Structure 1
Amino acid sequence: MRRLFVLISASLLALTACSPEKAKTTSPIDSSGPSQTQAPVTADAVPGPRVPKVDNAIDVTRFLQAPCDSLTADQIKTLLGAGVTPKTELDAPAGPSCSIHPPTVSDAGVVVMFSTVDKRGLTSIYQAQGTKYRFFMPMDAVDGYPAVAYGITDGRKTDGICQVAVGVSDQQTVDIAITQSKQNIGHKDPCEAAHGVAESVVGNLRGAR
């Protein structure tokens, strides 16, 4: 299970090394057209260029204190079998997290994490593609919320690892990291598995009162 924590912590904490550029102001529109000046564009504006906007933000405040509430007991049983005890870690380096792994398969597991690295949501991840994140793969939206698989490296085929971030607001993501058991590596895409877990998580977040 240690490698799963290393994956999610290393990927998200890499964002702290990405210092936003200084604020920039765009040049006026060509003088041959109407006299207009675009509004200033700041480096910390969200969403950033080409980053999908989240139209209906989800308030995840309660889950920052109870990240394991993001999956029900029945969902956890379906994912990893009976006898699984989720572990809450409120002081995890990248944000409050819930780690789940079956006691009989120590190399498999799921982590659900609410990032507190910054307040820039998917923008931080998009801006780090190709530099901090050599693996970057936009995925289908999760119940209307934009999602992307990403990592410092692509560990899908070699380690059965994938991390998917879902933008639940322009400032906040929830990350789902999957580590497959050795016998399942190469048989199913871990990113698709993480996406499936994300669907359950987002459904629970939206249904919370």
Structure 2
Amino acid sequence: MRRSILVLCAITVTLVACSPSTKNGTPTPSNGGTSPSPSSAAGQIPGPGVPKVDNPIDLARFKPTPCNALTETQAEELLGAKAEARERLDGSTGPSCLWAPPSATRPTVNVLFSKSPDRGMTSVYEAKGTTYKLFEPLEPINGYPVTAYGTEDERVSRGKCSVALGTSDNETIDIVLEQSEANIGKKDPCDAAREAAIRVLTTIRGSN
């Protein structure tokens, strides 16, 4: 599964304290998000219990230029310092862009697009309790579902959180965030990742 690879391969990054707690503050599940069994969910998009995306966003224009997902100002707001963008178009999971302060390994924000439709949020919900030990639906952003996930729960140990932002019933944008060592334990990294997702969504919707 794509997101399993993302969680294992994402560069360790740490986010300094972000401003609004709308994205990844202490997240409160938006719904029960029960995981459908593979048999009941087969062929059904969205699957049982998976929130539907009523206003899908076309991501085609961003995949060749993933670093356009955040502006310089947005990246600086998230990282608390001037950030450099590192684009990667040949990743095994799809194109991505990593933001980090110059000459630093953390904090970072990594935004990843899939190469092709991957069943969207349905694939995240189906992995609850099996592939993903961390599974926590967060408050939607303007009607677009957001879910924190991970093969391990590394929020306390590494200040790390990955979230999937549903942009259609068949696609998501994955955002992997890691805090700086100084900020681990001071703010929920999933709240910070949701803050990043808010900015990504703002940029992408503004360009459509």
Partner of residue 110, structure 1: 109
Deviations 1:77-128 (A, max 9, x none): 2222454220111111221111011124413200011123752001111001
Partner of residue 179, structure 1: 178
Partner of residue 134, structure 2: 135
Q: Distance in 2 between matches of 1:192 and 1:76?
A: 16
Structure 2: gaps spanning 5 or more residues: 11-36
The 1:119/1:8 distance shift into structure 2, 3 A limit, reads closer
Partner of residue 86, structure 1: 85
The 1:82/1:153 distance shift into structure 2, 3 A limit, reads closer
Partner of residue 8, structure 2: 10
Partner of residue 52, structure 1: 51
> Sequence identity, in percent?
44
The answer to whether structure 1 residue 193 and structure 2 residue 192 are counterparts is yes
Matches of residues 5-44 of structure 1 in structure 2 within 5 Å?
A: 8-10=6-8, 43-44=42-43
Cα distance, 1:189 vs. partner? 0.4
Partner of residue 144, structure 2: 145
Q: TM-score, normalised by structure 1?
A: 0.79
The 1:107/1:171 distance shift into structure 2, 3 A limit, reads same
Partner of residue 31, structure 2: none
The 1:125/1:90 distance shift into structure 2, 3 A limit, reads same
The answer to whether structure 1 residue 62 and structure 2 residue 61 are counterparts is yes
Structure 1: gaps spanning 5 or more residues: 1-5, 13-19, 25-40
Q: Is the 8 A contact 1:143 1:202 kept in 2?
A: no
- Which one-letter code corresponds to 2:8 in the other structure? A
Q: Could you say which structure has the larger radius of gyration? A: 1
Q: Is the 8 A contact 1:105 1:181 kept in 2?
A: no
The count of corresponding residues between Structure 1 and Structure 2 is 179
- Which one-letter code corresponds to 2:166 in the other structure? G
Q: TM-score, normalised by structure 2?
A: 0.79
Partner of residue 32, structure 1: none
Q: Distance in 1 between matches of 2:71 and 2:187?
A: 23
Q: Return the structure number with greater relative CO, CA threshold 8 A, min gap 6.
A: 2
Q: Is the 8 A contact 2:159 2:180 kept in 1?
A: yes
Q: Is the 8 A contact 1:115 1:173 kept in 2?
A: yes
Moved over 6 A (4+): none
Q: Distance in 2 between matches of 1:199 and 1:179?
A: 17
Q: Distance in 1 between matches of 2:200 and 2:44?
A: 27
